[in-house]
Amino acid sequence: MKTAVLKVCRIGNSRGIRLPAALLRKYHITDTIVAEEKPDEIVLRRRRASRPKLSWEETAKAMAAAKEDWSEWDSTSADGLDDA
């Protein structure tokens, strides 16, 4: 892992750092990064693109297409929860 010493500079009333262009290209950083604060460090990482959420109908279709074996769940009907 390479180490880079970055100077903290004034940006209005705040402070900031400038990331080298090579780092921006290497990690495909365009306009937003995530800063994660840990006990003894700050981790900067690119923001991952979120996948669109499935609707209930799309989820049901995906589950049906998976053809999973749910037969073990049938035994839960005799566990007495129906009487509660």
- Burial category of 33 from C-beta neighbours within 10 Å (exposed 0-12, middle 13-18, buried 19 and up): middle
Residue with tokens 């129906």: 82
In whole angstroms, what is the distance from residue 30 CA to residue 9 CA? 20
Does residue 76 lie in a domain region? Answer: no
- Averaged pLDDT, 17-23: 90
User: Which string of b and e fits 34-60 if b means at least 16 CB within 10 Å?
Assistant: eeeeeeeeeeeeeeeeeeeeeeeeeee
Q: What's the CATH code of the domain at 30?
A: 2.10.260.10
pLDDT tens per residue across span 39-56? 999 998 888 777 778 888
- How high is the mean pLDDT of the chain? 84
* Token pair of 26 as six digits: 């290497």
* Token pair of 71 as six digits: 């037969």
Does residue 27 lie in a domain region? Answer: yes
Does residue 79 lie in a domain region? Answer: no
User: Domain tally for the chain?
Assistant: 1
Residue 8 host element (H or E): strand 8-11
Does residue 51 lie in a domain region? Answer: yes
Does residue 57 lie in a domain region? Answer: yes
| pTM attached to this predicted model | 0.49
